Amino acid sequence: MDTNPAFFNTWSPRVLSILRIVTAFLFMLHGTAKLFHVPHQPQFDNLELMSLVGLQGILEAGGGLLLLIGLFTRPVAFILCGDMAVAYFMAHQPKGWLPILNGGDLAVLFCFVFLYLWAAGPGQWSIDAGLRTKP
């Protein structure tokens, strides 16, 4: 396969934005399910806001929204990366060491996508990128 540097130089920042937007939307849904019951998940019907699960919902909904629009992307991604690492080791790793068997594969994937977003930035379709181009 012949690689075209101009193609990749043009599309890499755009695809990075798409990765950020899709990941943020999926992550945000976990928070809205916990906080607003949308989409409804019965296990969150009696959620106490001032609990670890409530705090997790706030991080997921709020952090997901900030990532979705690409505002404060790097610090938010860094915080969410750590959040997902803690979630994995608190909730999943005690059930076994292999993520596919302990139900933690999504937490691991979110953790490393957030780590990548911290290092790579938001991509060109973001508020952060728009703020950088202002004088």
> Residues 116, 119, 125, CA angle at the centre, nearest 5°?
80
For the chain, the maximum distance between any two Cα atoms, rounded to a whole number of angstroms, is 56
Nearest to 119 by CA among 10, 30, 20: 20
Distance CA 23, CA 76 (A): 13
116 lies in some domain: yes
Look up the domain containing 26 and give its range.
9-124
135 lies in some domain: no
- Cα of 20 vs its chain's centroid, Å: 8
Distance CA 76, CA 78 (A): 5
**Domains of the chain: total:** 1
C-alpha distances (whole Å) from 101 to each of 26, 43, 68, 94, 98 are 22, 21, 30, 11, 5
75 lies in some domain: yes
78 lies in some domain: yes
- Measured between its terminal Cα atoms, the distance across the chain in Å is 41
Helices H / strands E in the chain, number of each: 7, 0
Predicted confidence (pLDDT) per residue in 60-83, tens digit: 999 999 999 999 999 999 999 999
**Average pLDDT over every residue of 11-16:** 96
Q: What is the pTM of this model?
A: 0.93
133 lies in some domain: no
Predicted confidence (pLDDT) per residue in 31-43, tens digit: 999 999 999 999 9
